[in-house]
Chain A
């Protein structure tokens, strides 16, 4: 999927709660305010689980 915006906007679009995930761009942690480039590979990692 190609997306133009920031990880915050991407998570909102995917209806994923920001508080429950960590975002890596091209394998590295980045602030979720970072503007994404067309070639960036975004990984959304769920880190908050019930239990």
Chain B
């Protein structure tokens, strides 16, 4: 089969590889009908995440049709259409039973490494380093899906791939980020980053009833897409984020702040970002936390910071004393996808939201390597890439 494989920093190729096969009685094999390039794939592409090995198959946003099932699979049958959440979950461990799916205790095949790196292991993830199990990803014609009775979400007839594909990651990620804010009808929700996750944060905050939603970015087309849903936009290259947020909140700051940027913040003209870049270059810091610093500064005391943006390692000069003294709540984490999928699928079916709005680019798997560049460089108005093998 064809698959997009990581061969090193900025080196992803469409290779021919052996088809996956059932390895456990609880596995299924799916034929991928749609998959996407996620913003967090770019952290691998740019070489910021440790634990990748040459030849690893990329991708953790995918869906398809069940082709083959293991003997113990009861809930799926050949021919079912499923969206596969990016977190692999057993459904039986203590964390899964509490619906903390992204920290499933069983599915990381490299648990020892996970324990050593994180203190305690987190869940296995598709196509996302050997720290999280080294599972083959979904940017491929076929994918092996373990624990198939637990994670995959069956899709009813009548919904297109474009409408449901993002149930596997970015829609629940944006949703969880907004839900984590405990949004009240009087709240201003400020969202840093108008990439795909940021776009879903905007829509989620609106569905959850925020008084006003403000989005901070510098890419005009991303801001225009956020504004299309009703967000107020701030181009941080043209105006002061702090001044504008204060102006919009009568000088009090937003109650809820969401970091949909993560470790590769591009805030070119700010001094802290320049220092972060220099430190990153000489390996004194792995992540660039400009957004965290700004959120801590601007957030209203007793407010909440929600962090769906991916961080990989160490951050420096984060004003934690400021956060402590302001009594900020910080919530973060990989998404507990299955906690939200039933509800979100219902909302799609009812027409409350159509996630396909975010798709700007399409291609075949063979186009994948070039589209990684297009997406990373935000060329040609690229916000979200969908590949159809």
Do the two shown chains form a genuine complex with each other?
A: no
